[in-house]
């Protein structure tokens, strides 16, 4: 059985980019199955691209090929890569930070740079185009690999996993009754904010479901939120419109408003400049 291709980009559906990429895949092999992950990653945001791969990958069958195209450096010397994860998946992506979370939390065992002289689309007036590698390079190479036209070794030259471009992963800090970390990513449709606190470590620090805990959020060191919030397993334990702490789908501690948007209500974003502290005191 041929592997599934799962796509994520920052292209949206507002024009024909996604359609063109899928056309390339089907032109190589009509039997290949293509599934949308998301095409709503924020523009140029390789951190979010990295996180979304980590978020969903393990729920797909082993052997699935993920094509991730968030590529602000398209056409420059940044590497176009095909990476094999330690647990049996393939990622076709620019090597620009988009492999960070998978490498850190799941492991990458090998990575190759796509050889454009072999694995680049030709003959459709694309030879002089340098701004659409999602179509001309990543989709074409992924389809050739998925269909069995090329082996992994024929993707291009191997390079050291140690040379993969990485964003900095900030580890949370736990004390008894205290957790310090960052708002790592958001749940954009519902406005929930996901911290980098694993549930297991959070509970081991002395927090329990049903507690009311003091949450302080700082933006570049400046306090922008400070309240006591209920910590519970799911949203319905809070009153409608009430902010709360909950355990998210990845067993990370999140912040939400029941039937509302935490990020919109309090104008809070995500990233290393958004520091969060949760304590039993205060």
Q: Which CATH architecture has domain 5-163?
A: 3-Layer(aba) Sandwich (3.40)
CATH of domain 173-279: 2.40.30.90
Pairing type for strands 108-113 and 158-159 reads antiparallel
Q: Does the pLDDT value for residue 93 go beyond 70?
A: yes
CB–CB of 25/86 below 8 Å? no
The whole-model pTM stands at: 0.95
What region, left, alpha or beta, does residue 62 occupy, with left being phi > 0 and alpha being psi -120 to 50 degrees? Answer: beta
Please give the Cα distance from 230 to 174 (Å, whole number). 19
CB–CB of 280/211 below 8 Å? yes
- Find all residues with CB under 8 Å of 209, minimum gap 6, and list them: 231, 232, 233
Looking only at Cα atoms, what is the longest distance across the chain?
66
Averaged pLDDT for residues 116-132? 94
The per-residue pLDDT for 141 is 98
Please give the Cα distance from 1 to 64 (Å, whole number). 11
Strand partners, 216: 226, 277
Residue 281: pLDDT band with limits 50, 70, 90? confident
Q: How many residues does the chain have?
A: 282
Please give the Cα distance from 63 to 113 (Å, whole number). 19
Share of the chain above pLDDT 90, in %: 98
Give the model confidence (pLDDT) of 155-214 as tens digits: 999 999 999 999 999 999 999 999 999 999 999 999 999 999 999 999 999 999 999 999
Domain ranges across the chain: 5-163, 173-279
Where b means 16+ CB within 10 Å and e means fewer, 151-183 reads eeeebbeeeebeebbebeeeebebeeebbbbbb
Give the model confidence (pLDDT) of 9-64 as tens digits: 999 999 999 999 999 999 999 999 999 999 999 999 999 999 999 999 999 999 99
Averaged pLDDT for residues 134-146? 98
Please give the Cα distance from 188 to 51 (Å, whole number). 13
* Among 103, 95, 56, CA closest to 77: 95
Please give the Cα distance from 67 to 22 (Å, whole number). 11
Strand partners, 80: 94
Counting Cα atoms < 13 Å in the Cβ hemisphere of 17 gives 17
SS3 54: helix
Query: Exposed (0-12), middle (13-18) or buried (19+): which is 130, by Cβ within 10 Å?
Result: exposed
Residue 282: pLDDT band with limits 50, 70, 90? low
Please give the Cα distance from 275 to 42 (Å, whole number). 21
Please give the Cα distance from 108 to 105 (Å, whole number). 9
């Amino acid at each position: 059985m041929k592997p599934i291709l799962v796509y994520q980009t920052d292209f949206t559906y507002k024009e024909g980019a996604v359609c063109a990429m899928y056309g390339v895949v089907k032109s190589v092999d009509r039997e290949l199955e293509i599934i949308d992950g998301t095409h709503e990653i924020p523009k140029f945001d390789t951190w979010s691209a990295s996180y979304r791969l980590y978020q969903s990958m393990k729920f797909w069958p082993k052997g699935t090929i993920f094509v991730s195209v968030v590529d602000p450096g398209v056409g420059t010397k940044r590497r176009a890569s095909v990476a094999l994860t330690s647990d049996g998946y393939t990622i076709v992506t620019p090597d620009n930070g988009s492999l960070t979370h998978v490498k850190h939390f799941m492991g990458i065992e090998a990575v190759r740079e796509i050889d454009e002289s072999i694995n680049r689309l030709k003959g459709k007036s694309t030879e002089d185009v340098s701004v659409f590698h999602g179509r001309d390079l990543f989709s074409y190479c992924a389809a050739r690999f998925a269909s069995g036209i090329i082996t992994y070794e024929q993707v291009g030259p191997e390079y050291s996993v140690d040379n993969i471009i990485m964003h900095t992963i900030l580890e949370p800090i736990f004390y008894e009754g205290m957790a310090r970390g960052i708002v790592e990513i958001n749940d954009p449709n519902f406005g929930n904010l996901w911290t980098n606190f694993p549930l297991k470590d959070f509970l081991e620090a002395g927090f329990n479901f049903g507690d009311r805990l003091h949450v302080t959020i700082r933006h570049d060191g400046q306090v922008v939120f400070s309240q006591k919030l209920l910590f519970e397993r799911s949203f319905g334990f809070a009153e409608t419109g009430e902010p709360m702490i909950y355990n998210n789908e990845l067993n990370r501690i999140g912040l939400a408003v029941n039937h509302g948007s935490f990020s919109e209500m309090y104008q809070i974003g995500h990233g290393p400049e958004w520091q969060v502290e949760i304590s039993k005191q205060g």
